Amino acid sequence: MDNHSKPEVVVITGASAGVGRATVREFARRGAKIGLLARGRDGLEGARHEVETGGGQALVLPVDVADAAAVEAAADAVEREFGAIDIWINNAMVSVFSPAKEMTAEEFRRVTEVTYLGVVYGTLSALRRMLTRDRGAIVQVGSALAYRGIPLQAAYCAAKHAIQGFCDSLRCELIHDGSKVHLTMVQLPALNTPQFGWTKSRLPRKAQPVPPIFQPEVAAEAIYWAAHQKRREVFVGLPTVEAIVGNEIAPGLLDNYLAHSAIEGQQTGELDDPNRPNNLYEPVAGDHGAHGTFGDRARSVSVQFWANKHRAALVAVAGFLALGLALFSNRKRL
């Protein structure tokens, strides 16, 4: 807990696996009481067990975030069990690996309902409670793909772009109203999570995150930190910064680069099973944990995020060094 006399009450969507599961662990080890929202009960029970084994408290709430009424009911349940919600983290997502021309209208709808509208519904439920108390933090788990779309993930990229626009509008309204509710978005790099083994795919070979890859604990640390800061947005990983800045400077160049690199770059050399289970409409059974199968290539630390966290101190040090260099140069001239 950071400067709190009582445990924080936190809601995490997509809490059963991947980034959500790593984020559950991050908050649990700091003493938070956690509402666990996701569709897969196996993963939710696994997360609850981890929290309770560490001496914490967690509430399992099997919820499809595409169902606004179910999200609202889950928020009520958390507050009945633990009290006022301090932090709400929107992390749940689904995707489809496929050329856009081969996608169905229903697939686009489903990805949009979960990955974008699920964020909207969660945010609205959080706001209904936080605005009356004039406190709280809402963290949207985003991606570099919120700024720069890539091939084979049109529906997912579009949903992340939509979250970005939604946050910009809502943030302006909160500022206008003088609200103390804080809204932030954390833009993540490629991560070693189980999603690449259960996302629906039309690719001939198994999907993979585009290297460089980071462990989900890097994301979890950033999400926890963002929930307790006043940054409007947090970039995690140098590849995220490069993608966002590069798209601002030379989007056409990136179009051509990604056209020739990202289709192969999102596939391993191993053939995929076209009949394997996927989680687009129903969760894949089992407790999948936080990590995927790319651990041997994943980084456990982001130097860029460390520098981002400590940028005020780094700027101060740079200023002192510059001042010292200037004084030294003046003395030499004298």
Just list the catalytic residues: 156
Distance from C-alpha of 213 to C-alpha of 76, rounded to nearest angstrom = 37
For residue 140, the surrounding DSSP H or E stretch is strand 137-143
Answer yes or no: are the C-beta atoms of 146 and 190 closer than 8 Å. no
* Strand pairing category for 205-207 and 267-271: antiparallel
Answer yes or no: are the C-beta atoms of 191 and 219 closer than 8 Å. yes
Q: Which two tokens stand for residue 322?
A: 């510059």
DSSP for 185-221, written as a single string: EEEE--B--THHHHSEE--SEEE-PPSSEE-HHHHHH
Q: Which of 93, 79, 91 is nearest to 23 (CA)?
A: 91
At 233 the three-state DSSP class reads strand
- My answer on whether omega of the bond before 212 falls inside 30° of 0, hence cis, is yes
Answer yes or no: are the C-beta atoms of 281 and 39 closer than 8 Å. no
Answer yes or no: are the C-beta atoms of 128 and 228 closer than 8 Å. no
| Lookup result for tokens 């004039």 | 134
Q: In b/e form, how buried is each residue of 53-63, taking b as 16+ CB within 10 angstroms?
A: eeebbbbbbbb
DSSP for 9-78, written as a single string: EEEEETTTSHHHHHHHHHHHTTT-EEEEEES-HHHHHHHHHHHHHTT-EEEEEE--TT-HHHHHHHHHHH
Give bridge partners of residue 266 from the DSSP assignment: none
